[in-house]
Homo-oligomer: A and B are copies of this chain.
């Protein structure tokens, strides 16, 4: 399973090709659009989100509602294109003041541009919309095996929102995609205040994978470890500056005897705690996989930041670009979906199958094989 994306922020739209979903998987376009709307939602998004009501167009690979094994290609039009189609291929969109925190400056140097337009068009987090679409197809594949991926917000700026209960059905009852909607007002107040100051906020996202059997990923080679693959794909999401599994950094100050999760018998093999975050030896161990991702405050600030002007090499300030106060809720949706891709890919690598029925049989054989030891 592999995918590539293409498309720029103010050009026609975003494209993805996702290859390797077996035939026979029911693909619900509404679900993709629902996930796209989640990415656009969340409190604290800027005006652009109102312009775009992203809707996916499935160009190929799905027929009469089912995957057919052929590459699934997706198109998400940029609704803004109507405003840009006469300008996009013209001079006039030059952007000379590279924004700290964005790829503007290294991108201009790398690609020998004289200004940032071409960089910001592609490096923009806009592109994550189509990664969400890809991942939401992977989610539909995984859900057949009762594997679910959830992401929710653990903090916005300095405000921590510990999960009230592990009821993941409640995530989207919160405007911040937290597991405690009762604290939304506090966060609204925070965001509004920061918005007035022309500033921005980061936060922490937690992602949980439920229902994964033990043995996905592999310990045999550096580039096959499940945690490595997940970390690589998550860190490739714009604004992510850190990834940790289980206790992560906080576990480094514990003793081994405190950290590790004893193996006990209790209707099969269980763990009484999950400090490892569901991964041992680069493999899923049958517990929930728990990942936390650090999202930096977005770099496009209403109040501007010190920078240089590439045209005259003088001190300058970043121009205001229409933007958001915080993308932590949106990032939680993106991370959920890139995680879904990695899990679907590794799942299919292990179980094979060109049609869903083949994969199902192979999967069920595996569950039966490990049943005696593992499921008790």
Contacts of A214 in B (CB 8 A): 105-106, 109-110
CB within 8 Å for A6 and B17 given contacts A303-B257, A310-B373, A365-B361: yes
- What 0/1 readout, one digit per residue, does chain A (271-314) give for beta carbons within 8 Å of chain B? 10000110011111110000010111111010101111010011
Which of A5, A201, A294 has the most chain B CB atoms closer than 10 A to its own CB?
Answer: A294
Chain A interface, DSSP helix/strand/loop, else mixed: mixed
Whether B241 contacts A12 by the Cβ 8 Å rule is no
Does A7 reach chain B (CB closer than 8 Å)? Answer: yes
Whether B111 contacts A90 by the Cβ 8 Å rule is no
CB within 8 Å for A307 and B12 given contacts A111-B69, A365-B361: no
Whole-angstrom CA separation of A306 from B13 in the bound complex? 47
Contacts of A89 in B (CB 8 A): 63-65
Whether B255 contacts A201 by the Cβ 8 Å rule is yes
Contact among B15, B298, B308, B369 for A15, CB-based, below 8 A: B15
Whole-angstrom CA separation of A262 from B200 in the bound complex? 15
Closest residue to A69 on the B side, CB-wise? B111
Whole-angstrom distance between the Cβ of A303 and the nearest chain B Cβ = 7
CB within 8 Å for A352 and B357 given contacts A70-B220, A199-B257, A241-B245: no
Q: Closest 5 interchain pairs by CB?
A: A103-B281, A232-B232, A352-B352, A242-B244, A110-B215
